[in-house]
Chain A
C-alpha cells in the first residue's frame, strides 16, 4: 500500500509542477504545431500515405524526446536528493514512467488530430490504429524516460538523450510504422494482432528494464 501512496504522491507532484510551470507543456505543444506546419508546407500535396506514416512516427519520436527529457533535470539536484531519501527508487521510476506515459498519450493523440487536420488522414482503419498509437507512445515514453535518466547523469544531458535514445528506439519505430501501414486499408492483414502483441511485449521489456536497472543509476 505504501508503494501505491508513494507513486501517486509523486505523480501528483509532477502534475502540479507541470500545471504551475506551463512553459514546458506549452513548449511541447508549440513544438508539435510548428513541426507539423513545417511538414505541411514542405510536403504540400504530393506525399503518399506511406511517407506520411513514417513522418508521423518520426514526429512522435522527437516529441517524446522533447516532452520526456526534462524528467530528471527539471528540479535541482538538492530536491532530487530529497526525493531519493523520501521515496524508494522503485517508486520514483514507476511514478515517472506512469506520468510520462500519460503525458505522451495526451501528446500523441493531439499530434494525430493536428496531423489529420494539416496533412490528411493516411489511416483508414482507426479502430485498429488506436491501440497501435497508444502502445507506441507508451513505448517511446518509457524508453525516453529511462534514457533521459541515464543521460541526466552525464554532463551533456540534452544531446546525450538523442544520441543514446535514437539508435535503440529503432525496433519500436520500425514496428509502429509497419503496424500503421497495415492499418492503411480497411482490411487488416493476417498476423496484425500478433504484431500488436509483440509491441505490447516490447513495451513490457522496456518498462521492466527501466524498473530493474534504475536503482543502479542513482547508487552513490
Chain B
C-alpha cells in the first residue's frame, strides 16, 4: 500500500511536469483566432475533469455515510466538495482568460459556462447548509442528503441544458461538457490525456492531505 501511495503521487508529479513542458513546447495546429492559446486546453479542461472527479467521490462518500454513519466518510465528502470548488474556481478563471482572448469578453452567455456557474452555486449552497446546522451528526446526515440531490440535478443539467439551448460556442456536444476527443489533433492527444490524468491524481492527492489534516484537528479537539 505504501509503494502504491508513493507511486501515484510521483506519477501525478511526472505527468504534470510532462504536461507543463510538452504542453508549452509541442507543435499545435495553427487554427484561426485561437492560435497559440489552444495550449490552455491542457490546463483549463484538467480543472473541470478534477472537479467532476471530486464531486463523484463526494457523492459516493455521502451515500456511504447514509448507509454506515462513519464520521470519516462525512469528512471525505465535505473536503471533496471544498476542493472541487477550488478546482471549479480555477477552471472558471482559466476559462475567463481564454474567453477574453478568443471570444473577446470575460464571460459569454453560453449554456456550458452557465452550467459551470450553477454547479458552483449549488455546491456553495451545500457549504452554507453545513454552516447552518449545529449538531455534528445531523449536519453530516442533512448535508449528505442535499449532496445527493444536488449531484443528481447537476447530471440532469449537463444532459438537458445543451439540448435546449439554441447553440453553444464552447466546444463539446450533447452533455459532454469539455470537448470531442475525436476533434483533437493526434500530437495534442499525446499531451492531453496524460495532463488530465495528472490533474485528477493531483486532486486525489490534495484530498488525501486535507482529509488527514481534518482528522488531526478532530482528534485534538475531540479529547
Contact = CB atoms under 8 A, between A and B. Distances in A.
B133 A154 contact: yes
A150 B146 CA distance: 7
B149 A160 contact: no
Interface string B94-133: 0000000000000000000000001001100100110011
A174 B125 CA distance: 20
Nearest to A165: B125
Q: Main SS of the interface on chain B?
A: helix
A156 B132 contact: yes
A181 to B, nearest CB: 9
Contacts of B121: 167
Interface of A: 146-147, 150, 153-156, 160, 163-164, 167-168, 170-171, 174-175, 178, 195, 198, 202, 205, 209, 213, 216-217, 219
Contacts of A167: 118, 121-122, 125, 150
A205 B148 contact: no
Contact of A154 (B118, B141, B142, B150): B142
Do most interface residues of chain A lie in helix, strand or loop, or is the interface mixed?
helix
Nearest to B158: A171
Interface residues on B, range: 20 to 34
Interface string B141-165: 1101110111011101100110110
A54 to B, nearest CB: 13
Contacts of B149: 146-147, 150, 168, 209, 213
A150 B142 CA distance: 7
B68 interface: no
A131 B133 CA distance: 39
Given A150-B145, A155-B132, 10 more contacts: A150-B142, A153-B133, A154-B132, A163-B125, A167-B118, A168-B154, A171-B156, A171-B157, A213-B145, A216-B145
A168 B147 CA distance: 11
B144 A155 contact: no
